[in-house]
Amino acid sequence: MMDSFRIDEITRRLLDSVPPAFRTISQDLETNFRAVLRSSLGKLDLVTRDEFDTQTRVLERTRARLAELEARLQALEGLSAPQPAAAPGTPTAGN
């Protein structure tokens, strides 16, 4: 959910856009803007920047680990793969 600072900043910007004639009721407007914003934003499926950054780092580590494991698997498969048989009449290393 968005932090209070961002909601307050959006509220301030909305209040700045209100015509001067209506600014006398600014306290009521501010309270209503803040309530509407919190309610509306609370219904959205949002995460904080910190949560997003944390998940990005987790994903980066997971990708790196997957690449490492894929390389190890490929190396192990190369070690255990049967050597191709020599064609008949082809000299071998021992001959």
DSSP state of 87: P
Q: Name every residue whose Cβ is closer than 8 Å to that of residue 42 and which is 6 or more positions away in sequence.
A: 1
Q: Is residue 88 part of a domain?
A: no
Q: Is residue 94 part of a domain?
A: no
Residue 49 token pair: 């920047």
| Strand residue runs (E) in 19-82 | none
Cα separation of 90 and 86, whole Å? Answer: 6
Q: Is residue 64 part of a domain?
A: yes
pLDDT of residue 85: 62
Q: Is residue 8 part of a domain?
A: yes
Prediction pTM value: 0.44
pLDDT > 90: percent of the chain: 27
pLDDT of residue 70: 94
- Determine the average pLDDT of the residues in 45-49: 82
Report yes or no: 26 and 34 within 8 Å, Cβ to Cβ: no
Q: Is residue 91 part of a domain?
A: no
